Amino acid sequence: QVQLVESGGGLVQAGGSLRLSCAASGPSFSNFPMGWFRQAPGKEREFVCAITWSGSSTFYADSVKGRFTISTDDANTVSLQMNTLKPEDTAVYYCAADPEGDYTDYVAWGYWGQGTQVTVSS
């Protein structure tokens, strides 16, 4: 019943910026924590960041801290502002919702979007 749809991916040069959005729909009580993961070809899905729906707490992987910012608004949307992008940021980015257990582990998350491709050229 919960649906997540990502948008905003694309091609950008190293040092550039992109803003991803995740639109959530479904039960009105689905205001649980949200997060972003990414997966490069041939690699495991990697934790990027997470946020409580109220925005009171945020968590970032060391690889993106200081460059990426996760945020929420009042329209069931979570965004990921990505600045100073690096080629190693190239991956499919997935929005996720409702973790149980270790939120840095992709298997802990109950709902996923379809993913959006981010490619950073050198």
Give the tens place of pLDDT for each residue, 68-107.
999 987 668 899 999 999 999 999 999 999 899 999 999 9
pLDDT value at residue 56: 78
CA end-to-end distance (rounded Å), the chain: 40
Give the pLDDT confidence score for residue 73 in this predicted structure.
Answer: 75
22: nearest Cα among 113, 90, 118? 113
More confident: 1 or 30: 1
Strands 77-82 and 68-72: antiparallel
Listed residue (20, 8, 23) closest to 75, CA to CA:
23
| The dihedral formed by the CA atoms of 98, 104, 106 and 111, expressed in degrees to the nearest 10 | 20
Instruction: Convert the pLDDT of each residue in 54-64 to its tens digit.
Output: 767 999 999 99
* Res 74: pLDDT: 65
Confidence of residue 28 (pLDDT cuts 50, 70, 90): low
pLDDT class for 30, splitting at 50, 70, 90? low
